[in-house]
Amino acid sequence: MHHFHYKGGKLYAEGVSLDALAEEYGTPLYVYSGHTVVEHYKALDHALKPLDHLICYAMKANSTLALLRLLARQGSGFDLVSGGELFRVQQAGGDPGKCTFAGVGKTRAEIEQALRAGIYCFMVESEAELTFINEVATRLRKIAPVALRVNPNVDAKTHSKITTGTYENKFGIAFEEIPALYQRATALKHVTLRGVQMHIGSQITTAAPFAAAVKKMIPLVRELHRRHRLEFFDIGGGIGIVYEDALASGQPDWWKKKGAPLTPAAYAESVVPQLRTLGLKVLVEPGRFMVGNAGVLLSEVLYVKKTGKKNFVIIDAAMNDLIRPAFYDSYHEIVPLRAKTGKTIPSDVVGPICESGDTFAKDRPLQPLKTGDRIAFLSAGAYGFTMASNYNTRPRAAEILVEGTKVKLARKREALVDLIRGETA
């Protein structure tokens, strides 16, 4: 579901023409649909209604203040992975008391910052970290609320770089070691055991892996709750979105015809009945689901060149703006901002960066593009801007938030002086 549609031959974000935005703000340009974000939040919130629950939006997916503010207004909590993200939540008016803090390598400064801000819970990923949090909390004369992150060793069958729930990767604590570690934690005077957490991976497009992981966890969580009187079970994030058929998936009937990869209702159906039996608050940490289909990256064609058998479309966006295709071979649908007719030709869409990896699409059937044409990469709202860099000393793009016909410049395009800020020659 999203609000990007053609009207009169032009692509719109809600009530605003994307071509007009590109004209005014330049390209590359990220554009977000505020209503899409809020509707995703509400749909998931509704699906989880049978449970006492808290949605902690995994802001690593997109931490732009304007989006955080939208979600904070809905009552969302936030899943953080750094002190920088906590700072952003506070700047956006979010409630630290609804924040969880995950990650395998929290520093002393970050732990202190989170304790002072009064976050809801630390998600602890090793015994060493648990001991360290206790030590930092002792010094600050505070009690740190903690949950241990359980690695359920369930294969989420997603991309190898984003699978997290098996013993092959660095996350969490092995399932078998958990009861003893909870027991040892009771000896630490400055931590309090508040919950249990798991996260099995990202871009999971069927309900089965979630259901399997929850099923495996329930007896463990029940036992931990019996022994330690916990408050919550956090089942992580990972709900997948539509990439391949992204534009069409904005039509309400598409979901009925095609069957969604994973609707909030299907997700909830697979886990809620099991979770209800626990009598605990349930936390979820969706990132991509909340913002992925709510954002597009706009770019302009600089040159078209035919060499050998290839038709290269060289655009002004590059892997520094959207690294997912280069990094994960991921697919983003590409559509023109002004609808085209005519036969498609296989095209390689590439950026200006001096690396062959700076390729968005290979042999993609696209209607012929020419210099000055503008295109949109769909489903770019998650892990788009947050993974952007200044590689090749390229300024990072501007970001726009659209709500209805309202346009807000959420972030200015970086200027050349921004690129050398803090440096000494």
Rank residues 94 and 237 by Cβ distance to ligand LLP and give the closer one.
237
Q: Is 342 helix (H, G, I), strand (E, B) or coil?
A: coil
| Distance, CA of 21 to CA of 296 (rounded, Å) | 12
* Cβ pair 41, 76 in contact under 8 A: yes
Rank residues 202 and 249 by Cβ distance to ligand LLP and give the closer one.
202
271 touches ligand LLP by CB under 6 A: no
Rank residues 130 and 301 by Cβ distance to ligand LLP and give the closer one.
130
Q: Is 340 helix (H, G, I), strand (E, B) or coil?
A: coil
Binding region for ligand LLP (CB under 6 A) out of 63-71, 236-244, 340-348, 401-409: 236-244
**Distance, C-alpha 36 to centroid of its chain:** 14
Rank residues 61 and 221 by Cβ distance to ligand LLP and give the closer one.
61
Q: x-or-dash pattern for ligand LLP, window 105-144, by CB under 6 A? A: ----------------------------------------
- Binds ligand LLP by CB under 6 A, chosen from 63, 64, 202, 311: 202
> How many residues at the interface with ligand LLP, by CB under 6 A?
21
| Distance, CA of 281 to CA of 54 (rounded, Å) | 8
Q: How many residues make up the chain in this entry?
A: 425
- Binds ligand LLP by CB under 6 A, chosen from 22, 66, 99, 102: 102
Tokens 């709202």 map to which residue?
Answer: 381
- Binds ligand LLP by CB under 6 A, chosen from 14, 19, 79, 129: 79
203 touches ligand LLP by CB under 6 A: yes
Query: Would residue 354 show up in a list of annotated catalytic residues for this protein?
Result: yes
Shortest gap between Cβ of 100 and ligand LLP (angstroms)? 9
**Contacting residues for 212 by C-beta, under 8 A, at least 6 apart:** 154
- Binds ligand LLP by CB under 6 A, chosen from 54, 58, 80, 99: 58
Burial class of residue 115 in the structure, from the number of CB atoms within 10 Å of its CB (0-12 exposed, 13-18 middle, 19+ buried): buried
211 touches ligand LLP by CB under 6 A: no
Phi, psi of 285 (to 5 degrees): -125, 60
351 touches ligand LLP by CB under 6 A: no
> What letter represents residue 269's amino acid?
E
DSSP conformation letters of 213-282? HHHHHHHHHHHHHHHH---EEE----B----TTTTGGGSHHHHHHH--S--HHHHHHHHHHHHHTT-SEE
383 touches ligand LLP by CB under 6 A: yes
56, 99, 121, 354: which one is catalytic? Answer: 354
Provide the 8-state DSSP code for 201: B
Binding region for ligand LLP (CB under 6 A) out of 24-32, 62-70, 281-289, 401-409: 281-289
Q: x-or-dash pattern for ligand LLP, window 153-192, by CB under 6 A? A: ---------x-x----------------------------
DSSP conformation letters of 113-179? HHHHHT-SEEEE-SHHHHHHHHHHHHHTT--EEEEEEEE------S-GGGB-SSTTSS-SEEGGGHH
Cis peptide before 264 (omega within 30 of 0): no
Rank residues 102 and 369 by Cβ distance to ligand LLP and give the closer one.
102
289 touches ligand LLP by CB under 6 A: yes
- Rounded to 10 deg, the angle between the 34-47 and 65-73 helix axes is 40
Rank residues 23 and 329 by Cβ distance to ligand LLP and give the closer one.
329
Rank residues 43 and 143 by Cβ distance to ligand LLP and give the closer one.
43
Instruction: Supply the residues annotated as catalytic.
Output: 354
The residues binding ligand LLP (CB under 6 A) are 58, 61, 79, 102, 162, 164, 199, 202-203, 236-239, 285-289, 324, 328, 383
